[in-house]
Structure 1
């Protein structure tokens, strides 16, 4: 269930709430809201600072119970770190930690004054939106296949933020983006025996059925074979779960306006195929449809925000399994574009389903721009780690737009070169190209491969292999790059 958000303009000491949230910088410097609470409650926060119980370290939390002189039942004091270096990333972090702490308390609502903090370069609407998204991110719990924990305990369902009415736009955007992020996280977190290509298609159809201006079209393997999806179908050939091509359309703009397009890699489980992956960590390959989840989440956000534009979201979805009918290293595939591909490694399958989807999207919708997102290469994880998505495009203006959207949302990307110099690594003696380019520059050569199917298109590629999920047995989907994509669409709708 998505958190409900509202605004509050009253003084923090007067709000009758189960908990109010305020901040303290390092060296005991109180924010204005904390100072008001402290003054009304007889210096209760300053005494905790002087005793060392509150140190102001960024993300630290202290709960003060029922201080006399204020209306709230509790005060949650959040450490903000050094004031002189306080920035957007720190603001997001302290709001996440505040929400996590609230989630451990037996309460169903709270009010936060962290939105009053000064964040250089950002206005109140941004602060409210970022705080709300941080709180919703922290409040998310996966429960689809897990027995509910803490049954009977009140759960945080409502959070108010201190701000004037001019911040309502930020709150409205937060609600829409939060729904998209949750949609993406839930889809990606589902186990692969549930989240199959058919299941993704069902979820897309259900969303279309529930929303005006949205329609859904699903191509099955029979239709795709007639059309010539030779590359996509080869990847799914070894699985009992047949491939699907899912296309959602949102008509929020003027009739006749060309749409923007998202394309997302939807490999619902990736064994590597005949080029089998190592066993340890293979369970995480259920997240190999993180690109599909991300673009679907971005689509959901756009619909929920009611953005005045036209948008299509195309998801090629398949399962990459070893089988007697699986495609093999050495096979030559004929893609929908007519270009042939020599398969050197069946574990480089994401680009093989994306290339056909990119061709079909361009031919079918003639979009203004195409953005694809994919958990494409381990090389991108080596290059950028878990913090930034890899961005590749031959269009400097489009790349700049996406980088700016990432900075605004803190869902950041970093641009990698897509020079023609790298194309030579894809040369093949048996086909128009090979599906891998060797060990060097693996993320870039994957982008170069996709670029061969986007001639004449304003296109960018996001490699989210490092950012789509957190590793480990308790790791889960992050919902990235939903926020980046949503902001990019917001920016387009405001032009």
Structure 2
């Protein structure tokens, strides 16, 4: 899909030559000077045909005085990012038709239309995404071009650029999380990372079993040994900041399929365990977004990737393994494998002398029980990092919520046969999992995002969400204090973004 941003005032809307126009209408506004559009909105509002409230809409076919044949007026309430997303989703639901290839979205009725640009772009991308990789009979995306009409292009420049990067990153994360496990093996993820390594400022290194063994990653190796698919340890570097500047390290859990191992899962919904590499997908998506936006910050992405399978070589409950840190772990439950591959990756991350480390993982069902599918569970050993992640999530509409890390929660991890066990019972399971990971980060500022409830949806709408790419990208933008990328041309009146 191509996005472009142009100056389009309400009075210009009648002359817009596209297949359909979606007009975002705030609950309170003046329609004076709005030409045919202003007169239309005033009339339908006075008659009560267009109710107030975000998501309310009115479909107009061949309205008098307009070039466009299909026009949807959609209420955005107070014009907040959340209300804009609701309005765009509601409006697009009324415009699903084979002939809709070019869409105009008028934002210039909003007081702060620049703030709505990014939200509108994400809403369009979400509403029109269609998975087709292993489904040849599915219809690919029909909508090809979306023009965002704003009061002033310059004022919306940064929001447009961030929106462009966000769409690219989220869609890559969705694509790879949605793929079946036989089409998204650890080797496939490594190939994606290598392709990203050809982009500006990104370098990729992929380690195989021999190199991982030499590094002493006994916990990672223990999980991988039950699968015929070879493990891959992926390291990506984005060099956008000054040489020698400490990087942010992102660590993504890359279990491309999780049977539970010897502690095998129930058969019901086990197919959804292809989504267990959602953390890895989010790191890949974030790097795709970095390649588009080119912010001035250094970032390292680490993805330990393997399958968790129950063959004759698989690790068994009660086995003791030695992590890269030298700490030993009693594997009490082989279905608590994500923390085993992450702990070695977190130890490896220390070699980059990072400013902070953030791991992202579909880690615990307990987090789903605690927070559902609305907010990602967030843990951090440093208040400043926790506050920054929370703020980034609010700004990007990719919400998280901080959960506690009291030392007492680690008591259940004690083992009589190793330095620690890998589980501590059902109570507070998301927290005890985070306490396990905390044992491998020393004093480095560290955050842990448990995305088990937010990385994908079940049921009729089953599929990956691409979260938390938006949160991570916003955090990195805020850290880099980016104003605008210098590589972009001065005029953005006709800038086009391709997010396919």
TM-score (norm 1): 0.91
Name the CA shift for 1:180/1:33 in 2 (closer, same or farther; >3 Å): farther
CA RMSD, 1 decimal: 2.3
Q: What secondary structure sits across from 2:431 in the alignment? A: helix
Contact residue 270 and residue 320 of structure 1 kept, 8 A? yes
Show the counterpart of 1:185: 174
Q: Is the 8 A contact 1:260 1:312 kept in 2?
A: yes
Seen in structure 2, the aligned counterparts of structure 1 residues 447 and 42 have a Cα distance that, compared at 3 Å, is closer
Whole-Å separation in 2 of the counterparts to 1:133 and 1:301: 13
Say yes or no: does 1:63 pair with 2:63. Answer: no
Q: Could you tell me which residue of structure 2 aligns to residue 20 of structure 1?
A: 21
Structure 2 gap segments, 5+ residues each: 483-500
- 1:308 matched to 2:296? The reply is yes
Deviation at 1:259, TM superposition (A): 1.3
Cα displacement string for residues 45-99 of structure 1 (whole angstroms, at most 9, x for unaligned residues): 358x54x5x444532443211111123222112244xx4x664322221123333
Q: Aligned partners of 2:354 and 2:71: how far apart in 1? A: 51
CA displacement, residues 392-436 of structure 1 (integer Å, 9 cap, x when unaligned): 011000000000000001101000011111111111111000101
Aligned position for 1:282: 270
Provide the secondary structure at the position in 2 that maps to 1:116.
Answer: coil
Structure 1 CA distance for aligned equivalents of residues 41 and 328 of structure 2: 76
| 2-structure distance, mates of 1:40, 1:491 | 41
Residue 332 and residue 369 in structure 1: after superposition, are their counterparts in 2 closer, same or farther (change >3 A)? same
> 1:216 touches 1:247 (CA, 8 Å); kept in 2?
yes
Cα 1:195–1:86, aligned 2, differ >3 Å: closer, same or farther?
same
Specify the alignment match of 1:381 in structure 2: 368
Consecutive unaligned residues in structure 1, runs of 5 or more: none
In the alignment of these two chains, the number of paired residues is: 479
User: Partners of 2:119 and 2:389 in 1: how far apart?
Assistant: 18
**Higher RCO, 1 or 2 (CA under 8 Å, sep at least 6)?**
2
Deviation at 1:105, TM superposition (A): 5.7
Q: Per-residue displacement from partner, 1:440-488 (whole Å, max 9, x unpaired)?
A: 1000000000000000211100000000001125411100000000000
* Alignment map for 1:328-343 (pairs within 5 Å): 328-343=316-331
Question: In structure 2, how many angstroms separate the alpha carbons of the residues matched to 1:42 and 1:318?
Answer: 56
Is 1:108 the counterpart of 2:96? The answer is no
Question: Which residue of the partner structure matches residue 7 of structure 2?
Answer: 8
Matches within 5 A, 1:57-456: 58-80=54-76, 83=77, 87-104=80-97, 106-114=99-107, 116-118=109-111, 123-150=112-139, 154-165=142-153, 166-209=155-198, 211-363=199-351, 365-456=352-443
Moved more, 403-412 or 142-151: 142-151
Could you tell me how far apart the structure 1 residues matched to 2:156 and 2:144 are? 22
Aligned CA distance change for structure 1 residues 417 and 46 (closer, same or farther; 3 Å): closer
Q: CA deviation at 1:176?
A: 0.9
Find the residue that maps to 1:95 and give its secondary structure: helix
Paired with 1:30 and 1:74, the residues of 2 have a C-alpha distance of 23
Tell me how far 1:100 sits from its aligned partner: 4.0
* Separation (CA, whole Å) in 2 of partners of 1:237 and 1:149: 36
* Conservation of the 8 A alpha-carbon contact between 2:233 and 2:303: yes
TM-score, normalised with respect to structure 2: 0.90
